[in-house]
């Protein structure tokens, strides 16, 4: 919390001005010492001023008013010289004497918390920040001190809870949450290894502040999600390609391989072609290997075309709709998105699906490829399951929202 380090010093200095606190009597000896402290404070010589306060303290027979002014000067000098423990001593003396209340009391508490924070004494900073709010403080700068103390002190649970609430409140008010607020949540969730909060933060970053880097982080964290079924690697690699996050020739090879193994030969070939076009494949020591892979994918496409009629016949004769869903998604990723949507819907109507969540994910992807974002989002929301399908569907939903803007 940034506070004017001279503010309290000047307040104390004003107490020495002629006519101020007329009810207080200051002896010439005490007044002379106080004026010396005031001069040092104005000159920015805080440590010298703090030492001079001790001269006042050594004067015997001080009255209550003189002692109160002395403690205010001590507080100001300690604040300027970054000695929060001494600030606390002065504050406690003033409180005990009944010399602080209301806004001034909060100002002193805030100054103590801010000074501890600047010194990275997070436990003490949090204690005083909490006291500030418990005694009625509302300054947003002090909220930043409290949050920083919680974060660096390792107590990120309250940060996660309050930041999620603040993000949701902003959305409810029709406002976009600030990027700093979402980043705070992302960092706190990462520190706490809170997968749910991290997924929420990623979703909000993708929704409001999408970028290539943010997409890379979101996809990578989903890939690393505990319990994610291996079959979703293909869907996540597809998003890597769409968000321009293919990092090497190995990524292109992996996506083409995953697509080919899952029956998406045409998609696999187009991935290889994209790698060649990007200048990532067909270069250097692996050029021959990449060319062989391209030839292999060409053969896979030809084989798939030859086997399609039999596969469709088997899928239509089955009492389970999974075959039709798979064939429909293959159509969608081969450039026949509308026909793919119809076939997936047919499969869902047949029913007896092995995984209903997967079918809704496939339907959402097909709708997206067909250009119908609203229906795609509806399908993605319907993709339920505890094996990662919901997380993957949310990523696709966020991409669908931003890609069509």
Q: What is the pLDDT of residue 4?
A: 45
Domain ranges of the chain: 7-153, 156-209, 246-313
Q: What is the pLDDT of residue 162?
A: 92
- What are the CB-based long-range contacts (under 8 Å, 24+) for 83-92? 83/50, 83/115, 84/112, 84/115, 84/116, 84/119, 84/121, 84/124, 86/50, 87/111, 87/112, 87/115, 88/112
- C-alpha dist (Å) from residue 240 to 17, 155, 218, 357, 361: 69, 34, 10, 21, 17
Q: What is the pLDDT of residue 405?
A: 58
Q: What is the pLDDT of residue 16?
A: 46
Q: What is the DSSP string of 322-362?
A: HHHHHHHHHHHHTT-HHHHHHHHHHHHHH---S-HHHHHHH
Report the CATH number of the 7-153 domain: 1.25.40
What distance in Å separates the CA atoms of residue 380 and residue 384, rounded to the nearest whole number? 9
What distance in Å separates the CA atoms of residue 320 and residue 293, rounded to the nearest whole number? 34
Q: What is the DSSP string of 87-128?
A: HHHHHHHHHHTT---HHHHHHHHHHHHHHHHHTT-HHHHHHH
What distance in Å separates the CA atoms of residue 222 and residue 235, rounded to the nearest whole number? 11
Q: What is the pLDDT of residue 176?
A: 95
Residue 395, token pair as written in the block: 């990523």
Residue 55, token pair as written in the block: 């001269």
Q: What is the pTM of this model?
A: 0.68
Of 239, 190, 171, nearest in space to 395 by CA: 239
Digit-by-digit pLDDT tens for the chain (405 residues) are 444 433 554 454 444 433 344 456 889 999 899 999 999 999 999 999 999 999 999 999 899 999 999 999 999 999 999 999 999 999 999 999 999 888 899 999 999 999 999 999 999 999 999 999 999 999 989 998 998 898 888 788 999 999 999 999 999 999 999 999 999 999 999 888 888 888 889 889 998 998 999 999 889 888 888 889 999 999 999 999 999 999 899 999 999 999 998 989 999 999 999 999 999 998 889 999 999 989 988 998 888 888 889 989 999 999 999 999 999 999 999 889 999 999 999 999 999 999 999 999 999 999 999 999 999 999 999 999 889 999 999 999 999 988 865
């Amino acid at each position: 919390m940034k506070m004017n380090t001279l503010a309290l010093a000047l307040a104390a200095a004003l107490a020495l001005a002629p006519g101020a606190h007329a009810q207080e009597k200051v002896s010439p000896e005490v007044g002379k010492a106080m004026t010396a402290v005031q001069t040092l404070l104005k000159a920015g010589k805080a440590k010298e001023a703090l030492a001079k306060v001790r001269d006042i303290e050594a004067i015997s027979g001080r009255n209550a008013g003189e002692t109160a002014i002395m403690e205010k000067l001590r507080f100001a000098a300690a604040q300027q010289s970054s000695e929060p423990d001494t600030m606390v001593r002065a504050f406690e003396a003033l409180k005990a004497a009944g010399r602080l209340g209301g806004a001034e009391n909060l100002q002193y508490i805030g100054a103590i918390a801010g000074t501890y924070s600047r010194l990275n004494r997070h436990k003490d900073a949090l204690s005083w920040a909490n006291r500030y709010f418990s005694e009625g403080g509302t300054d947003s700068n002090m909220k930043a001190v409290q949050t920083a103390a919680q974060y660096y002190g390792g107590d990120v649970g309250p940060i996660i809870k309050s930041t999620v609430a603040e993000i949701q409140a902003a959305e409810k008010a029709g406002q976009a949450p600030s990027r700093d607020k979402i980043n705070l949540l992302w960092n706190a969730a990462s520190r706490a290894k809170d997968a749910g909060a991290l997924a929420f933060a990623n979703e909000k970053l993708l929704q409001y502040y999408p970028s290539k880097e943010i997409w890379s982080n979101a996809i990578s964290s989903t890939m690393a999600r505990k319990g994610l079924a291996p079959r979703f690697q293909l869907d996540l690699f597809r998003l890597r390609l769409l968000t321009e996050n293919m990092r090497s020739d190995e990524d292109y090879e992996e996506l083409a391989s995953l697509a080919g193994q899952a029956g998406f030969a045409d998609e696999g070939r187009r991935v290889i072609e994209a790698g060649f076009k990007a200048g990532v494949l067909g270069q250097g020591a692996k050029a021959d290997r990449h060319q062989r892979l391209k030839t292999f994918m060409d053969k896979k496409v030809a084989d798939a075309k030859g086997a399609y009629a039999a596969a469709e016949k088997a899928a239509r004769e089955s009492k389970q709709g999974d075959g039709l869903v798979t064939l429909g998604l293959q159509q969608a990723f081969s450039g026949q998105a509308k026909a793919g949507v119809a076939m997936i819907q047919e499969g869902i109507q047949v029913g007896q699906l092995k995984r209903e969540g997967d079918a809704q994910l496939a339907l959402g992807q097909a709708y997206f490829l067909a250009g119908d974002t609203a229906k795609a989002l509806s399908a993605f929301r319907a993709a339920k399951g505890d094996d990662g399908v919901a997380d993957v569907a949310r990523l696709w939903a966020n991409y669908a929202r931003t890609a069509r803007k």
